[in-house]
Amino acid sequence: MKTLKILSGGAAQGLVDSLRPAFEAATGRTIDGTFGAVGVMRARLLAGEPADLVILTRALIDGLAKDGHVAANSAADLGTVETAVAVRRGEALPAVGDAEALRAALLASDEIHFPDPEQATAGIHFAKVLRDLGIWDEVAARLKTAPNGATAMRALSASTGRHPIGCTQATEILSTPGIVLVAPLPPGCGLATVYTAATGTKASAPAEAARLMAMLTDSAGREGRRHLGFV
What's the one-letter identity of residue 55?
I
Averaged pLDDT of the chain: 96
* Per-residue pLDDT tens digits for 65-113: 999 999 999 999 999 999 999 999 999 999 999 999 999 999 999 999 9
* Per-residue pLDDT tens digits for 111-120: 999 999 999 9
CB atoms closer than 10 angstroms to residue 152: 30
* Per-residue pLDDT tens digits for 184-202: 999 999 999 999 999 999 9
Determine what percent of the chain is predicted with pLDDT higher than 90.
98
For residue 183, is pLDDT > 80?
A: yes
What domains, with CATH codes, occur in the chain?
A: 3-79+194-227 (3.40.190.10), 81-184 (3.40.190.10)
pLDDT at 220: 85
**Cα→Cα distances 201→33, 35, 122, 205, 218, Å:** 17, 19, 27, 10, 22
SS3 82: strand
Please give the model's pTM, rounded to 2 decimal places: 0.92
pLDDT band at 38 (very low <50, low <70, confident <90, very high): very high
* Per-residue pLDDT tens digits for 138-156: 999 999 999 999 999 999 9
Determine what percent of the chain is predicted with pLDDT higher than 70.
100
Cβ–Cβ < 8 Å for 100, 219: no
Cβ–Cβ < 8 Å for 149, 169: yes
pLDDT at 18: 95
Please, which contacts does 203-206 make with residues 24 or more away whose CB atoms are closer than 8 Å? Answer: 203/51, 203/52, 203/53, 204/5, 204/50, 204/52, 205/2, 205/4, 205/5, 205/29, 205/52, 206/52
Distance (Å, whole) CA 3 – CA 29: 5
Cβ–Cβ < 8 Å for 158, 171: no
Give the residue with greater pLDDT, 219 vs 131.
Answer: 131
What lies within 8 Å, CB to CB, of 212 at 6+ separation is 4, 6, 16, 19, 23, 31, 53
